[in-house]
Amino acid sequence: MHELTKGILAKNVRALARAISYIEDQHPDRLTLLKELYPHTKKAYKLGLTGPPGAGKSSIVNELLTYLRKQDMTVGVLAVDPTSPFTGGALLGDRVRMANHFTDPGVFIRSMGTRGSLGGLARATKEAIHALDAFGLDVIIVETVGVGQAELDIMKFADSTAVLLTPNGGDSVQAFKAGIMEVADFYVINKADLPGTDKLKAEIEQMLDIAKHDSEWRPPVIKTVSTQRQGIDQLWLTCNQHRAFLRDTNEGIGRNRRRAEAEVRELLHHHFSIIIEDKLKDASLLAHFDQLKQGEQSPYDLAEKLIAKWGMQD
Ligand SMILES: Nc1nc2c(ncn2[C@@H]2O[C@H](COP(=O)(O)OP(=O)(O)OP(=O)(O)O)[C@@H](O)[C@H]2O)c(=O)[nH]1
Ligand SMILES: [Mg+2]
């Protein structure tokens, strides 16, 4: 067994941090670690929290941490920012927002940015989730900013996905456009102390009226004021209700299966794209690309030729 696997199973925080760096950097031991850790995963409840910049995600996470720690639950937080080059330590904002929890041994907080996440932040994030899960945390919270495709990919790996909106953001319509309805298991209207909260709630409920969603689960819309610690108990109650829904219906099994399948697909895509990038480094290809430039060969012919040359035709 790998030293870091042993460390993680023995609840050594440094081993966990190192393993996540291995995952981000695609260290040669990465797959060995993931294989060894996998049988020890699946116990944690994974909550994804996404929403526009400044919606109060970190503030909510901070309050949730306080709430869960009072109930003696251990919690891991991955703060994922696809727009940030920072990784490894913690982003400044998260450090400020979650300051009280950084020294708590029952809490593990890690920021992940694009730098260092070779092969994609979404991949690195869900592999990091596996590591946190194997470490034995009760709850894993993944905070991602924005509602772009990268975040949606990340959110597919949560048990429950909460979409955070604010009444002042004017972001509701935008969020719905980005396909967020597909991933939202519930909505959190944060900054409910600001005007426009009821209007936003009505808008979301209206969307839900016409949208297709699981017949047994209509995504609830809850209100929070994270700066006043309001609604955090309701948020956790909603998490538990959704968790029970997953457990008591086939939806949970279906999701796990889809997740595992997606992960295999991604690993294969990743594997083959590396092979192709490697082959493309071949210097003899330069002449071909020159021909393309001069219009002597079409991209279609060249792609076909290379596929045949590499023996990759089906
Ligand atoms: N009025 C009000 N302000 C809030 C509330 N929750 C958070 N804020 C403020 O909103 C700002 C952004 O909060 P963050 O928790 O950093 O938001 P975030 O979504 O994590 O931001 P990014 O990670 O930068 O995308 C801070 O100044 C908070 O004090 C709330 O319930 N009401
Ligand atoms: Mg934040």
Torsion of CA 146, 150, 153, 158, to 10 degrees: -40
Supply the pLDDT for residue 176: 60
The DSSP call for residue 246 is H
For residues 218 and 305, what is the distance between their CA atoms, to the nearest angstrom? 51
93 CB near ligand 1 (under 6 Å): yes
User: For the ranges 31-35, 71-75, 143-147, 200-204, which has the lowest average pLDDT?
Assistant: 143-147
**Which protein residue's CA is at the shortest distance from atom 14 of ligand 1?**
56
Q: At residue 132, what is the residue type?
A: L
As a whole-number percent, the residues of the chain with pLDDT over 90 amount to 49
- Other C-beta atoms lying within 10 Å of the C-beta of residue 13: 12
pLDDT band at 187 (very low <50, low <70, confident <90, very high): very high
244 in any annotated domain: yes
Q: Do residues 146 and 81 touch, judged by C-beta distance below 8 A?
A: no
And the tokens for 94? 């998260």
| Signed CA dihedral, 285, 289, 294, 296: sign only | positive
Residues 264, 122: Cα–Cα separation, whole Å: 14
The answer to whether the CB of 225 is under 6 A from ligand 1 is: yes
Predicted pLDDT of residue 121: 80
Question: Best mutation site among 66, 200, 226 for ligand 1, i.e. most ligand atoms within 8 A of its Cβ?
Answer: 226
Of residues 79, 74, 105, 103, the one with CA closest to residue 93? 79
Decide whether any atom of ligand 1 lies within 6 Å of the 145 Cβ: yes
pLDDT at 171 over 80: no
What's the gap in Å between 76 CA and the centre of ligand 2? 15
Mean pLDDT, rounded, for 178-200: 88
pLDDT at 97: 66
For 232, half-sphere exposure in the C-beta direction (CA atoms, 13 angstrom radius) is: 19
Q: How many domains does the chain have?
A: 1
Residue 213 structural domain: 40-249
Question: Which CATH number belongs to the domain containing residue 98 in this structure?
Answer: 3.40.50.300
For the beta sheet containing 139-145, the strands, ordered from the edge strand earlier in sequence to the opposite edge, are 107-112, 75-80, 139-145, 45-51, 160-165, 186-189, 221-223
pLDDT higher than 80, residue 215? no
Question: Which residue minimizes the CA distance to atom 7 of ligand 1?
Answer: 56
pLDDT of residue 17: 94
Within a domain: 103 = yes
Residue 109, pLDDT above cutoff 80: yes
Average pLDDT of the segment spanning 194-204 = 92
Assess if residue 11 is contained within a domain.
no
Q: Does residue 216 belong to any structural domain of this protein?
A: yes
Would residue 273 count as lying in a domain? Answer: no
Of all helices (H) and strands (E), which one includes residue 197?
A: helix 197-210
Per-residue model confidence as pLDDT tens digits over 256-296: 888 889 889 988 988 888 899 899 988 888 888 888 888 88
Percent of residues, the chain, with pLDDT higher than 70:
86
pLDDT of residue 169: 67
Nearest to residue 63, comparing CAs of 189, 196, 230? Answer: 230
Q: What sign does the CA torsion over 36, 40, 42, 47 have? A: negative
Q: pLDDT-based confidence at 211, cuts 50/70/90?
A: confident
Ligand 1 centroid to Cα of residue 107, in Å, is 21
Cβ atoms of 152 and 179 within 8 Å: the answer is: yes
Residue 170 counted as domain residue: yes
Task: Provide mean pLDDT across the span 209-216.
Answer: 76
Q: Could you report the per-residue pLDDT of 29-47, keeping only the tens digit for each? A: 999 999 999 999 978 999 9
Contacts of 159 (CB under 8 A, 6+ apart): 45, 46, 47, 242, 243, 246, 252, 255
Of 264, 1, 19, 256, which Cα lies nearest the Cα of 135? 19
Band (174; pLDDT cuts 50, 70, 90): low
Q: Please tell me whether residue 23 adopts helix, strand or coil conformation.
A: helix
For residue 95, the CA-to-ligand 2 centroid distance in Å is 9
Mean of pLDDT over the chain: 86
Q: Is the CB of 54 under 6 A from ligand 1?
A: yes
Residue 25 lies in a domain: no
Residue 20 within a domain: no
Of 74-83, 93-102, 141-150, the range with the lowest mean pLDDT is 93-102
At 135, the pLDDT band (50, 70, 90 cuts) reads very high
pLDDT at 115 over 70: no
